[in-house]
Chain A
Amino acid sequence: MSTENNLAKKKRRSQNIAFGIFTATSYAIVALLFVILAFIVVKGIGVISWEFISEMPKNGMTEGGVFPAIVGTLCLVIASMIFAFPVGVLAAIYMNEYVKDGWPKKIIKQMTNNLAGVPSIVFGLFGMSLFVNKLEFGDSILAGGLTLGLLVLPVIIRTTEESLKAVDDTFRQASLGLGASKWETTSKIVFPIAFPNIITGLILSIGRVSGETAPILFTVAAYFLPKLPRSIFDQAMALPYHLYVIATSGTDIEKSRAMAYGTALILIIIVLISNLLANALRKYYGKKVKMN
């Protein structure tokens, strides 16, 4: 009897220790996140001002603002999404609504997975070789946007596919049963139901695109450009590349630290907003669908 009690005690003690470690570790990870965020917020918040957001960099990028980098990143986001969003959504529709199970579907799925696994620097090499050199776009928003677009294509395809999969089959059957064609069913019934989730994916990929550095290094990013891009064939500055430059190789690294904190904070804010927005959207529409 007492040995059994001892055993139970031992069991409980080892469980308590193990669970304690796991719990502490999990909270430590979250704490780490907050440390990173807090560090950048605390150091960067003093730098952020209207001037910082709206002005050109000055004095070898140790003063002034990051306006051209913000504009450049915005251009890259738009350029990449104009390409990747329609292509990704249409591809996902084909995969989920049209193609039957079989080897073509398997191959497309595998290739999409493979593309998602390609390191971002390889996208940079590819973009430089194809868009900048072969197609002679030069270092330009077009070349950088397309490169970034290809990078997020798998993300958009995946989230869209998941959103489409979540649409109950009877909606499709009911629509087809009324004599609607496949495309009518897809565009008028399935797509609208899936739309909120698809948008969630879009927002997350915007967050991703605005933070990517390696793919734009050799396709668009300018070290310093005292004017705004005028067309898609122009070079542009971009926030992540700007941060890299002033953090590691600016004219005066110590003096440009403050600028670097400010830039990092803007990047963090973009990521936070896109994540919060995506989560909020997911929750809001999640509730709405539950009514059914």
Chain B
Amino acid sequence: MTSTATTIEEYQRGGYKYGFVTDIEMDSLPPGLNEDVIRAISAKKNEPQWMTDWRLEAYQRWLKMDEPDWAFIDYPPIDFNSISYYAAPKSMDDGPKSLDEVDPKLRETYNKLGIPLEEQMMLAGVAVDAVFDSVSVATTFKEKLGEMGIVFCSITEAIQEHPELVKKYLGSVVPQNDNYYAALNSAVFTDGSFVFVPKGVKCPMDLSTYFRINARNTGQFERTLVIAEEGSSVSYLEGCTAPQRDENQLHAAVVELVALDDASIRYSTIQNWYPGDENGVGGIYNFVTKRGKCQGKRSHISWTQVETGSAITWKYPSCILLGDDSMGEFYSVAVTNNRQQADTGTKMIHIGKNTRSTIISKGISAGVSNNSYRGLVQINKGAHNARNYTQCDSMLMGDKCGAHTFPYIDVRNPTAHVEHEATTSKIGEDQMFYCTQRGLSEEDAISLIVNGFCKEVLQELPMEFAVEADKLLGISLEGSVG
């Protein structure tokens, strides 16, 4: 076991590889939150009056709400008045007309992250709507997608260009007063992505957004809305990395997905926000509300997430299975190390008949971290023949971390079949022995075993992401355990 201790230490010393800061002049609002700040955000984005009113309404609701405290996480109270709610790179004021005009420093940043923004991007077949702090800086493939009727743009643009769609769907899955952070987001969201896939169209490529938090003291509040009309399908990728900071940064995003009859949405996330150092200093507070509504018959929403970053993760990508025969899936790998805390899982609300859901969750805890799965499976009265299968496995690395499982199952229809299984384990000495005696180094052996542990989730990721996820797991668990 001594080798275990050493490897854990090595892992804990492993620095955050994306911790650099891009030095760009920022156009920020002073810290603080009040109606004027919200009006200012709305004005900066040149929003119509209905949008400003919607934000103010959300703010009023937020004021009446309490911060939730039920999650298995511990953090000092957040002073919402010490955060600046708007930051845009200055150079945006001139507005880049093409990729070449994008601020070279920004592009350099993305290149460090390995984001294929230029030629590589074409080759990779990925359309990128890169969000640098709060304003979308580059959108590609827009025209090509536009020919098919697909809208892929920033939410700011969508509010200007497609107000009828935004009005109809914004807040339809995650209402303003859904929870504390969703209300906050509704009031102050600065940017995010908007996807609309019209009837019968299969989106020919994976749509991708990289988020990046850059400016000091700015919360990132994105709002993403994906709408798939009848018979359409789309795959959306979201990746996040953030530079190293000493202060905790707040990230409260809202993602809404709407799938109509026979539509299919696949949403994949790799979350690698800065997790804080080994003493728990710094790191992102990630309070995210993600929810998909399978509104139509036979619709399908699938969430896949690989969560390795953030000091605190509070995230429950959920599916409301409203349409008959609709299907929801949740595949998750959550890794915590050092003093990271994750409370993540999903909700599957079965409302329609013959609805099915699958939950596969893999939690890996190392260091002195705490990793919790929290999930709800609810079968409503009218949900005849609903099916759910849940499996959540935890793996512990080291004897100072915690792995917890808090499933909630609520069944109100006798024809439902709900199964839940969970296990907690560690990497077996026999597994390690087998691998090492075949000539694998301890590192490779761990990587192999962890990849095997997460395989059911990783194989759900689109190709480009699977490669990155594989790399990330490798980095996150560098030198961990046996």
The judgment on whether A and B are partners is no
Residues of B whose CB lies within 8 Å of any CB of A are none
Residues of A whose CB lies within 8 Å of any CB of B are none
